[in-house]
A = this chain, B = another copy of it.
Amino acid sequence: MDRVIKYIESNYDKYIDELKEFLRIPSISTLPENKSDMQAAARFVADKLKDAGMNRIEIFQTEGHPLIYGEWLGAPGKPTVLIYGHYDVQPVDPLELWDNHPFEPTIKDGKIYARGATDDKGQMFMHIKSVEAYFKTMGHLPLNVKFIIEGEEEIGSTNLTPFLKQNNDLLKCDAVLISDTALFSPGTPTITYGLRGLAYMEVEVTGPNQDLHSGTYGGAVDNPITVLAEIISKLHDKDGRITIAGFYDDVLSLTRKERENFKVLKFKENGFAKQIGLKELKGEKGFTTIERIWARPALDCNGIFGGWTGLGAKTVIPSKATAKISMRLVPHQDPKKIAKLFTKHIKNLAPSTVKVKVRDLHGGYPVITLLDNPATIAASKAMAKAFGKKTVFMREGGSIPIVVEFAKRLKVSPVLMGLGLNTENLHSPNEHFNLNHFKLGIKSSAYFLDEYSK
């Protein structure tokens, strides 16, 4: 292992240059205009897997963005690990709030700033580099490795999900290793054992069949923006609980043990609030912030628009108003069931003066992974070695819908060995990735290959 670790140290500058090249590709999966960039990013990943020493590299075209597969199965009798990551990124707006261009990676104070730096290009790239280090120093890997890298994580993994179903043999493995989560705090080796799910909806309220002059019609017709606002205002009660009937029915309660474990982590509510410019936090009554984020469901408006949104004034009553509303789910809530309950609830709340359309944009299941399986233990040991500290176990508020698909389709318990930080502005302007964690991540990945092969 010493040789592998030394190789990582001495090639670190090259890794950074390659990561920069990767981050320059504007692979925004949700925007049609970035379709060719998605192809370029896929080719980049495929090329790097090949350079690292992997075999049978394939780019699978889909109806959306391509999937990249690579394997090395030269260790018969040893376990097989499937490494997952994604090369797609979130949109970059509002662009004016970025200090550097989101696709011109910039290093400052040991952090690399670019869209996708931490979510997930930087984290995914660590594993390609650890494999490369192994091959270059040892000529082989200590176990069998497969890679599956997708370009649709940010838009619901639409094509990977059926691919998993149809390619069970190809992807067969003993463990799935994923780095798309966060460390509990900088420098703390962390395994995440729970993720929230997601039900992402769009609500469109239509009143009049055209925009109206607010002078000529104001006071005589129901206003779609007001109606939408009234609907949104009724989605939480005064205790911060979601009012959708049946919403909490399948929620797995926090155990006393879990709540105690969370307390031990000494999460600092004040620091958390201050970092995002808030004096005051708010959430469901009866729970701490960490419990609200990790283990309780939440409903948020992610976007709203209607009428005149430009500069200055336009005296219009709009025909339509639209909101994007998503719910973070916890085990054992089912996104499909929740989407149905949400739709019914919205229709019930809508007055007869308007028409309401509810669209289910995408969803993902929540997940709790097992702590006692060999891959998780190996990952915990590997991180502890790389960091020189005891690994902690946490849950996280974000969703990686595909994680539950891996569990379901491949019958393995995914290992979430994330190296990001929740303060790294993922999905926001000035996203970045701590380069110290990048390096520790490559080492953790290399140690994992070693530990899990034992």
Q: Which residues from chain A sit less than 8 Å from chain B, CB to CB?
A: 30-32, 90-91, 93-94, 97, 155-156, 182, 196, 198, 200, 207-223, 225-226, 228-236, 272-273, 276-284, 289, 292-293, 296-318, 321, 323-324, 326, 328, 351-353, 361-362, 396-399, 422, 425-430
Given the interface pairs A311-B30, A315-B326, A315-B427, the reply to whether A218 lies near B304 with Cβ below 8 Å is no
Contacts of A222 in B (CB 8 A): 280, 282
Interface of A is mostly: loop
Write the chain B residue with the least CB distance to A398: B215
Contacts of A324 in B (CB 8 A): 307-308, 313-314
Pick from B208, B226, B314, B430: contact of A427, CB below 8 A: B314
Write the chain B residue with the least CB distance to A327: B218
Are A396 and B216 closer than 8 Å at their CB atoms?
A: yes
Are A278 and B208 closer than 8 Å at their CB atoms?
A: yes
8 additional A-B pairs beyond A216-B396, A219-B284, beta carbons within 8 Å, are: A30-B311, A155-B312, A209-B276, A210-B277, A211-B429, A213-B422, A217-B276, A229-B231
Inter-chain CA distance A338–B414, complex, in Å, is 60
Interface-centre pick from A200, A217, A273, A422 (highest chain B CB count, 10 A): A217
Min CB distance A117 to B, Å, is 14
Inter-chain CA distance A315–B299, complex, in Å, is 11
Considering the complex of A and B, which 8 residue pairs feature the smallest CB-CB distances, nearest first? A215-B398, A209-B277, A219-B298, A303-B307, A303-B308, A225-B301, A229-B232, A233-B233
